[in-house]
Amino acid sequence: MSEKIQGKGVIAGIAVGRIMLAGQNIDGYLVNYKPADTETEKKKAQDALDAVAEKLQKNIEMLKSKEMLEQAAIMEAHRMLAQDPAMGELIMTKTEELGNAPAAVLKAAEENAAIFESMDDEIFRGRAVDIRDVGKRIAKYILGVKEPELGEDKVVLCGQEIEPSVIAGLPTEKIAGVILGAGSTTCHAVIIAKARAIPTVVGVGDAIDKVADEDPVIVDGETGEILIRPSEEERAGYNEKIQKQQELKAHYAELAALPAVTTDGVRVELMANIGSHMDIDNAKSYGCEGVGLFRSEFVFMGRQDIPTEEDQFKAYKEAVEKCEGKTCVIRTMDIGGDKPLPYLNIPPEENPFLGYRAVRISLQRRDLFMPQIKAILRAGVYGKAAIMVPMVINVSEFKRVKAFIEEAKMELVHEGKEYSDKVEVGIMVETPAAAVMTPVLAKYVDFFSIGTNDLVQYTLAVDRGNASISYLYNHFNPAVLQLIYKTITSARENGIWAGMCGEMASDPNAAVLLLGMGISELSMSAPSIPRVKEKIRSISSLKAKEVLADVLKMEDGDEIKAYLQKVL
């Protein structure tokens, strides 16, 4: 008899296939493992590191040959982890301590992963899975554990957590869907699934125990509904949805090359939020027109020390080049109490979101800020780079940033290094203080980019990670809309551009309001671009202004949300 379980749909689409339980448990293999002497164990660990790096390299080449560039990029990050000298050193130290190579590998990976897991930022927490994944791969190699085998049928991968390498290592045409017991919208397993447009449901929790290997299953990636052992009638009911899904996919592919322009000729630039230069090729396939947010903190993660100017220059240069003359907005390091880095020695804080973070650290740590500024200015020679400063609350902070930039230029001249004088410098408007002061700030900056994730959180005093008050977190709250409108108006009145790089930018109904306010640019995760583009192309700027006028008379965020749903 069929059974329904419910999760959270994160990648839309209908998947039909058989369950393949992934994320194998290797405890049994570990218990039966008989270690040799310490030197032999160390050699086993080193051989496994080399073999896994080689296997990953083959995977990367295979993925690149199939134009699966985002998956290749994630596997490249895994290969770098497997070949990271610091990781190798820690594994050798643990092998000496424990005298057991696979146990030492898992212990080293766990210690590394724990650092990332303690961070409040969901994206960084997701990296812990990658580190464990690489550790598990190396341990499996030593233990002789085989990877999952594929049969004739399409499979729906299912596990509490699934290692990104499992999804990346299987051919796309064989994976119908993905079900995660845990998982978040930003974990690497989901990012890979998103790049391949594989219907995915996360957050199933303990209900995942009801799913057995080889069970036939239907997964609805939009509603989050999972149907185990469906009847013939239930299967037939989904056929129409599958047909519509294929038509929509073809339609979105046609949109990629078209501009985001309203029916009466008003254009909005649609750009991508990225974590690495390796994300850009994938973003282009969705029709992005440059990068609106490069989260530079990724260049600082997973290391034992501060990246040099040269390390940073290489990463930024590659991103700027890949944008092919379109803007690449690089946000300066947004690190702090909620995203600690061990080598910065920042003490834990009671309230990290209101603490020592982002520009507050940059302005006090010349050793961090100066190499980053110089690297971005140098990368600007290879295209159109822009510097974006996070968490600014007043004019004096921005003036100090500008002084740093002028000093960086003088140092580069002195060192005989080429740099661009055309790099725009703007701020992220993510605090109510900055939004209120935009009429003044607009006189000093080249652009504003509205970071709604934090702006909503700070304006409404709602922790966005707290499930019990998540119903209060609403980017259509009139207080938030007033601050956004003020920011865009201040930009227009001072002849600079205003964009948005928070989650709100990927909401098609929000895009209509922002269009009415006069926004120039929207930046979002790449797969959201077609939906937002379609909405913009289907409406006139006049209609957008009418909708905005109605919304500005309303007093409640939920009322606004419902109204937009109805009229759009």
Is 335 within 8 Å of 120 (Cβ atoms)? no
Residues in the chain: 568
Can you list the alpha helix ranges (DSSP code H) found in 327-477? 359-364, 366-379, 395-415, 432-436, 438-441, 452-460
Catalytic entry in 288, 323, 328, 501: 501
Q: Is 323 a catalytic residue?
A: no
Q: Can you point out the beta strands (E) in 113-174?
A: 155-159
Sheet holding 175-180, edge to edge: 3-6, 225-228, 216-220, 14-21, 155-159, 175-180, 200-202, 8-11
Q: Is 187 a catalytic residue?
A: no
Please provide residue 476's backbone torsions phi and psi, each rounded to the nearest 5 degrees: -95, 5
Distance CA 225, CA 219 (A): 6
Q: How many CB atoms lie within 10 A of CB 451?
A: 27
Q: How many CB atoms lie within 10 A of CB 148?
A: 15
Q: Measured at the alpha carbon of residue 251, what is the angle toward residues 247 and 253, in degrees to the nearest 5? A: 120
Distances in whole angstroms, Cα of residue 315 to Cα of each of 104, 212, 300, 372: 32, 44, 11, 11
Q: End-to-end CA distance of the chain, in Å?
A: 40
Strand partners, 558: none
Catalytic entry in 78, 187, 188, 328: 188
455 CB burial (10 A radius; 0-12, 13-18, 19+): buried
Distance CA 39, CA 37 (A): 6
What SS3 class is residue 442?
A: coil
- Catalytic residue positions? 188, 501
